[in-house]
Structure 1
Amino acid sequence: MTLLMPFLYFPEDKSEYIPSFIVLGIFMILAVFATIWFFKKSKKDEREFNNKYNIKETDSTSGQNK
Structure 2
Amino acid sequence: MFGLGGQEILIILFVVLLLFGAKKIPELARGLGKGIREFKDASSEIKREIETASKVDEPRKIDE
Q: CA RMSD of the aligned region, Å?
A: 2.2
State yes or no: 1:14 paired with 2:22. yes
**Bigger helix share:** 2
Return the offset for 1:17: 1.4
Please report the TM-score for the alignment, with normalisation by the length of structure 2: 0.54
Percent identity reads: 7
The aligned length equals: 42
Q: Secondary structure at the match of 1:14?
A: coil
Structure 1: tracts of 5 or more residues without a match: 1-8, 55-66
Any runs of at least 4 consecutive aligned residues in structure 1 with deviations exceeding 6 A, and if so which?
none
The TM-score, its normalising length taken from structure 1, stands at 0.53
